[in-house]
Amino acid sequence: MDQNVGTFDRLGRVAVALVILFFMVRSGKSGFLNALLLVASGALFASAASGTCALYTHLGLSTSEKL
């Protein structure tokens, strides 16, 4: 797969994932909502690490610097 997530977008995804994890740990609660948030933060980390976003691929979008 070609990378379709740019550097600024990747940093934003990591920042949002860290904020989600911070508030989850701080709340100290567990439940269905926290499980969904954990999956969402994992997806954000994964797309930031790989440089690809499945939603961007389906929509034909790219924030990557590559042309």
Q: Which of 61, 13, 8 is nearest to 41 (CA)?
A: 13
Q: What secondary structure does DSSP assign to 13-67, as a single string?
A: HHHHHHHHHHHHHHH---SHHHHHHHHHHHHHHHHHHHS--HHHHHHT----S--
58 vs 53: CA distance, rounded Å? 9
pLDDT (tens place) for every residue of the chain, 67 residues total: 789 999 999 999 999 999 999 999 999 888 999 999 999 999 999 999 999 999 999 999 999 987 5
Per-residue pLDDT at 12: 96
How many residues would you count in the chain? 67
42 vs 28: CA distance, rounded Å? 18
Domain boundaries, the chain: 7-59
**Can you give the pTM of this predicted structure?**
0.86
